[in-house]
Amino acid sequence: MRAHVIGAGLAGLSAAIALTQAGYRVTLSEAARQAGGRCRSYRDPKLGLTIDNGNHLVLSGNRVVHAYLATIGASDRLSGSDEARFPYVDVRDGARWVLHPNAGPLPWWLFAKARRVPGTTPSDYLALAKLLRAKPGQRIGDILPTTGPLWDRLLDNFLVSALNTPAAEGSAQLAGAIVRETLAKGGHACRPMIAEPTLAAAFVDPALVWLEAHGATVRLGRRLRALGLDGGRIAGLDFADGCDVVACGEPVVLAVPAWVAADLVPDLVVPDEHHAIVNAHFLSPPPAGAAPITGIVGGTAEWVFAFPDRLSTTTSAADALLDEDREALARRLWADVIAVHGGAPDLPVWQIVIEKRATFAATPEQDRRRPSAQTRWDDLFLAGDWTKTGLPATIEGALRSGRTAAACALEAYRVAR
């Protein structure tokens, strides 16, 4: 039996793998000339390096990430420390500290002053429990205090990064899902991990090799122009290079960006507000002993990444930066890097990478617009971090969406039989 997956980002790759494991002969089609979607890597001629389009961070508690990498034989492509340690620098006053949760779920680390945010007390962290009980429609600013040391020196930074949305405006339920799966489980679920050497090397290339080794067909540079709708099913797929006939019982997983899906599927409601992410890369090797990732408070960036061949920054919900002069922006971000790692003020060779529609805005209103994997067509299923995953737009959410779409397809086919 055949299956069709449209879109070779992480959601599409995940769906294709799950359907292949279930015995389908999968054709995976992607409009771009390379797979990976927003998790892609490329050779940058200005830097002379292979870089990722974004500095993506996963956590040790992201169970589907680890299952996916184990399946494609890439478990060794994530690097990270054995403990959950998050160094921070407040660039306004130079203060430094390390957030250091203990491994187990009983949070005794809150009673160790050296492990928590300066100026906070153990009772301050009880507010996080409110996120775990958040109701639909609640914003983070509705249930958490948005002033004080805990907010200023941790939550604002952490939540804007997790949601790619101004923290106070973000969905409290989505924030609660992140806390529930990471910090609430203890430091063993919070260890930061980074793809090594690149996103493509960890998440994309091994998946393509796995799919082709297991009989799947991968076709790049193949844009879907329309779905051939026939009553309650999909009869064909109209690609720019020709039309594929879809026989009865052949599932179609649409794993494309939300706005593309809305153009293809009649009356589909999807998130329609998005936020940008800005990443900067500087051709400057990190100093010896530099932490792989450091949080920034009071700067333009939220995080500084130390890669072997460069220093990089990430700024989430970065819409206000899009019209700024690129060199001026690079200088501002380089100032954040200097505040963390020291160095000369002279700007090294740099590159700015902007994703204008990096993720949907993770507000309660936009969360309500996220569709489920199933559609009113018997054989059409949706995948993507913009679908109803219960998480904000993350790598974990994208991979889960692909598995969910595949599971729905398998269940629908089982019931049909």
Each residue of 2-39: pLDDT tens digit?
999 999 999 999 999 999 999 999 999 999 999 999 99
Q: How far, in Å, CA of 98 to CA of 101, rounded?
A: 10
Q: What is the CATH number of domain 2-39+199-272+363-416?
A: 3.50.50.60
Whole-number percent of the chain with pLDDT over 90: 96
The order of strands in the sheet holding 57-59 is 57-59, 192-195, 78-80
pLDDT for residue 383? 99
pLDDT reading at 417 higher than 50: no
Q: How confident is the model at residue 253 (pLDDT cuts 50, 70, 90)?
A: very high
E strand or H helix that includes residue 122: none
Q: Which residues contact 77 (CB under 8 A, 6 or more apart)?
A: 69, 195, 196, 201, 202, 203, 206
**Across 214-227, average pLDDT:** 98
Ranges for all domains in the chain classified under CATH 3.50.50.60: 2-39+199-272+363-416
pLDDT reading at 414 higher than 80: no
pLDDT reading at 117 higher than 80: yes
Tell me what the pLDDT averaged over the chain comes to. Answer: 96
**Across 251-279, average pLDDT:** 98
The DSSP 8-state label assigned to residue 299 in this structure reads S
Each residue of 62-91: pLDDT tens digit?
999 999 999 999 999 999 989 999 999 999
Largest CA distance in the chain: 68
Torsion of Cα atoms, 357 then 53 then 158 then 397, to 10°: 70
pLDDT for residue 413? 73
Q: How confident is the model at residue 109 (pLDDT cuts 50, 70, 90)?
A: very high
Phi/psi for 357 (5° steps) reads -120, 60
Q: Which residues contact 94 (CB under 8 A, 6 or more apart)?
A: 339
pLDDT for residue 172? 98
**Across 354-364, average pLDDT:** 97
